[in-house]
């Protein structure tokens, strides 16, 4: 059986930074800030964006005291950016 292109993808090691980046990217797509790869359009889905932001907030609360400084900075920065974009989108 031949390898498919997806089987040849090299994934980064699982980490909190990868998880935060993945969720934040999905939130940016849901906020209409990035093109949705499924539709090739930038389209907002604010309820889903809010769910993803809430998920990052839960992750922040549940990992409190267990993050490296760079993880805290990444998570806090992502949440701040996403919250500001979300608030602007709800005007």
Contact 23, 55 (CB under 8 A): yes
Contact 56, 85 (CB under 8 A): no
- pLDDT tens by residue, 51-62: 999 999 999 999
- pLDDT tens by residue, 13-25: 999 999 999 999 9
Provide the pLDDT for residue 7: 79
Kindly report the pTM of this predicted structure.
Answer: 0.88
Q: Where are the domains of the chain?
A: 15-89
User: Rounded distance, CA 49 to CA 83, Å?
Assistant: 10
């Amino acid at each position: 059986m031949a390898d498919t292109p997806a089987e040849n993808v090299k994934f980064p090691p699982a980490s909190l930074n990868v998880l935060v980046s993945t969720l934040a990217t999905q939130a940016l797509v849901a906020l209409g800030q990035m093109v949705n790869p499924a539709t090739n359009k930038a389209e907002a889905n604010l309820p889903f964006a809010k769910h993803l932001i809430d998920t990052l907030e839960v992750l922040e609360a549940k990992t409190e005291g267990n993050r490296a400084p760079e993880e805290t900075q990444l998570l806090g920065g992502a949440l701040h950016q996403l919250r500001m974009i979300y608030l602007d989108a709800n005007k």
